[in-house]
Amino acid sequence: MSSALRYIFKSVAIGLFIAIFLLIFFPQLRNNHELPFADQIETYSGQVDGYSSAVRRAAPAVVNIYSQNYQRSNINSPPELRPTGLGSGIIMSEKGYVLTNMHVVEEADQVLVALQDGRLLTAQMIGADKVTDLAVLQIDAENLPVIPQNPAYSPKVGDLVLAIGNPYNIGQTVTQGIISATGRTGISSTGRQDFLQTDAAINRGNSGGALINSRGEMVGINTSAFHVTQSLDSYGISFAVPYLLVARIMDSLIKDGRVIRGSIGVLGGPINPVMAKLWGIEAQQGIMITGVMPDGPADLAGMRTSDVMLAINDLPVSGVSDVLDRVAEVRPGEKISVKLLRDGAQLELTIEVADFDVLRQQQATFSEY
């Protein structure tokens, strides 16, 4: 019996000795019972955080914008700067370029930019584009947060998006939605924008703020909410200018002070599927010319109303937006080759592209492409 007890005590002693040795020389093994619980807490916390990491990446680069104008309190008092407008903006580069909507700053005598870190800076106007309602400002500061940008990202219907801005000046606010549609045109007064439609809430003060994806990358710039009538608001229908278009407009404004667009002076629309079948073409492979500006580039080259535009520089056109973008990117003075279908026969015209702004001044009703 004593032999069995000695064996047990010896085994226990050896076990205790090994345990003490491991705890002394391997301290990471201490409190091991807490590790699984800590892992569970971390996993659960990640689920609760949702899209906070995306907001943390983008939100510091979204600024509040305040426009001010000189006003007199009475006829004898000197003019004083007073706040007149409210909006948001996006810091696009470390050089201090801030993107916003033109309607936020277009009539301002002074523009103030408030960063989320508390800095308040006076901004300089670099350029504005009425067609897309975009404006570029510049602020002079160091260590500026820049919004993440990914030119390879292509927005798709159903993608989750977050809108960041300063609605009603209550402070930076984030709203959530999805991309409801892409390629929306005809919404604005010019009808030229290629809008993204979202159901994320956009209110007064959100204009110029960022629309981002779940990775915190810029998807577009929030620009407007849809109103059925002046007295009836709609909900869940808001619009943003997509990032790739924004980038092109911003680069042009920084380089030239304005956006130089090509135009050939025509109006167009989609092809009737019945007529397309009679002509032996796909309805998506062209546009119907519905108007030609008198003495404009297309008119001088011989284009007529009811012609069907099939290709530009031998590349098929896929719709009105496609034609609009491709002609706009041609520098004024350059020539393009346009393939047409007229009375069942194909022909090709060479057209010298003109400046969009010049044509618009000459005849405002023909200012499309």
Whole-angstrom Cα distance, residue 286 to residue 315? 11
Q: Could you tell me the two tokens for 139?
A: 């602020």
- Determine the residue type at 331: R
DSSP letter assigned to residue 348: E
- Residue 354: count other Cβ atoms within 10 Å of its Cβ: 22
Residue 158 vs residues 52, 155, 180, 196, 292: alpha-carbon distances, Å: 20, 9, 6, 12, 38
Site of tokens 């670099």: 126
What does 254-304 look like in DSSP terms, one character per residue?
HHHSS---EE--EEEEPPPHHHHHHHTS-TTS-EEEEEE-TTSHHHHHT--
Whole-angstrom Cα distance, residue 319 to residue 35? 59
DSSP letter assigned to residue 19: H
Task: Count the alpha carbons within 13 Å of 96 in the hemisphere toward its beta carbon.
Answer: 14
Q: Among all residues, which ones are annotated catalytic?
A: 103, 133, 207
- CA nearest to 276, candidates 303, 298, 299, 309: 309
What does 82-118 look like in DSSP terms, one character per residue?
EEEEEEEEEE-STT-EEEEEHHHHTT-SEEEEE-TTS
> Which pairs from 229-234 meet CB under 8 Å and 24+ separation?
none
- Determine the residue type at 28: Q
